Amino acid sequence: MRPFRLAVAAAVLACAAAPALAETPLFVIEPTWTDPATGQSITRRLTFDTVGDLVDGVDIDTLSANLGVDLTTIDRITADASIRGLPATIAYDGTEIVLTVPAAGVNRRFGTTAADRDAAQEELEAYLEGEGNGTLTQILKAAAARTALDPVAGNPASLMSRMAAGMHDAGTRALDADGLVLGLAADGMKIGANGTDVRSMTATPTIGWGFANGWTLALDMPLTWQKTEDADTWSGQLSLGLTMPVTESWSLTPSVSAGAVGSVDLGAGAVLTGGALTSRYEAALTERLSLVVGNTAGVFTTVPVTVGDYEVDYDLTNVVARNGITAVYDTGARAFDAPLRLSLGITDTRFFGDALYSESYEEITAGVSAGRAAAGIGAIFGEGDITGITGRVRVAF
């Protein structure tokens, strides 16, 4: 019993104990202007926790109040901005405002027929809140491709990655169901890149049914909360899979999934749908040692949604390949009236299709299980200098 208890404690505490990275602000604006009295160039820096604060902050009156300087009489102001790490420029030119996001190919001028800067400001705010759907989609796609911690796609904590991982896990676990089975899993994750980190917690109820022919139908319903610096994100999924044994050692699991993620703070959100096929093969090497090989191929696509005041559409379609191998060792001991087993595995995940910030990452996991109870910890290493740690506890009845 003692090894199992230690593993459970490690899984629960791993993410909470992980040291935080030095914080990098999610939203930054650095206005530069010429002081009319001295002729000197002045640059100031402001940071914001949410996209709503940023949108409010680029209003010239709010900008003046935040800086303690009256900028309403300054004809030309150039503000360099960072939108979740995506470089942008907002130029105040007379009564006009120009928004430039080079990575997204955006160069938009507001207020060309406006009588004053306030009217241009209203046009800009309306555009950021969804009226500019076409180019806003370009900005969101650029965010997924060029910024490390987008909540929709492009990193291991994103919804697309979680959906792929969940469908793979559902196809490689062994429920051994006979009739109704209920399960509950608790997961923690912390990943970081470029000085920004995200911590998340996921609760996953499972309802399954084992048929007399050995097939198992299971519905997983993960609900995730995550914190990216001071910004909150919520996501949920429904994933339905049918596990069909082909031989005593090999099974196939086709599955379908739908998920939604939204963050008013980040100005991000999407609905994703996907389908996948997972293969699980177990080979006995010795009486106590076996290898489990899991392979998943799937496709995921985003659907436009409204998050708060913002209409967002990522317009992403990606194919995923997730392949892993796990060594399982029967210790000969028993816990919960079941064999106590130790495991060590590695999984590689790769995305193809629309550009993403991290299109591949690896996970190394270690765990302990006894019957329908299991716990484990893991480490993540991904493209784009992404690193992370995970922990999981799972039980079925």
pLDDT of residue 4: 33
Residues 152, 144 contacting (CB under 8 angstroms): yes
Specify if 246 maps to a domain.
yes
Mean pLDDT, the chain, whole residue set: 86
| Pair 125, 156 in one domain | no
Region 178-200 average pLDDT: 90
Instruction: Measure CA of the first residue to CA of the last residue in the chain; give whole Å.
Output: 19
Specify if 248 maps to a domain.
yes
pLDDT of residue 311: 65
Specify if 15 maps to a domain.
no
| Pair 164, 72 in one domain | no
pTM of the predicted model as reported, rounded to 2 decimal places: 0.83
pLDDT of residue 20: 40
Say whether 16 sits in a helix, a strand or coil.
helix
| Pair 156, 99 in one domain | no
| Pair 115, 198 in one domain | no
CATH number of the domain that 305 lies in?
2.40.128.130
| Pair 32, 108 in one domain | yes
Q: How many folded domains does the chain comprise?
A: 2
Q: Which domain holds residue 257?
A: 152-396
pLDDT confidence band for 12 (50 / 70 / 90): very low
| Pair 96, 179 in one domain | no
Specify if 139 maps to a domain.
no
- Give the percent of the chain with pLDDT over 90: 55
pLDDT of residue 5: 37
| Pair 281, 314 in one domain | yes
**Phi and psi (nearest 5°) for 165?**
-65, -40
Specify if 222 maps to a domain.
yes
Residues 77, 291 contacting (CB under 8 angstroms): no
Q: What is the pLDDT of residues 79-135, one digit of tens each?
A: 998 888 889 999 988 888 898 988 888 888 888 876 778 888 888 877 766 555 556
pLDDT of residue 243: 95
Q: Mean pLDDT check: name the lowest of 20-24, 115-119, 257-261, 331-335.
A: 20-24
pLDDT at 14 > cutoff 90: no
Count other C-beta atoms under 10 Å from residue 315's C-beta. 16
| Pair 75, 170 in one domain | no
| Pair 67, 179 in one domain | no
Can you name the residues that pair with 219 across neighbouring β-strands? Answer: 207, 240
Q: What is the pLDDT of residues 310-322, one digit of tens each?
A: 567 788 999 999 9
| Pair 313, 356 in one domain | yes
Helix (H) / strand (E) element for 137: namely: helix 133-146
pLDDT at 9 > cutoff 60: no
pLDDT at 249 > cutoff 90: yes
pLDDT of residue 10: 32
DSSP assignment of 270-323 equals EEEEEEEEEEEEEEE-SSSEEEEEEEEEEEEEEE-EEETTEEE----EEEEEEE
Domain end, chosen from 71, 98, 129, is at: 129
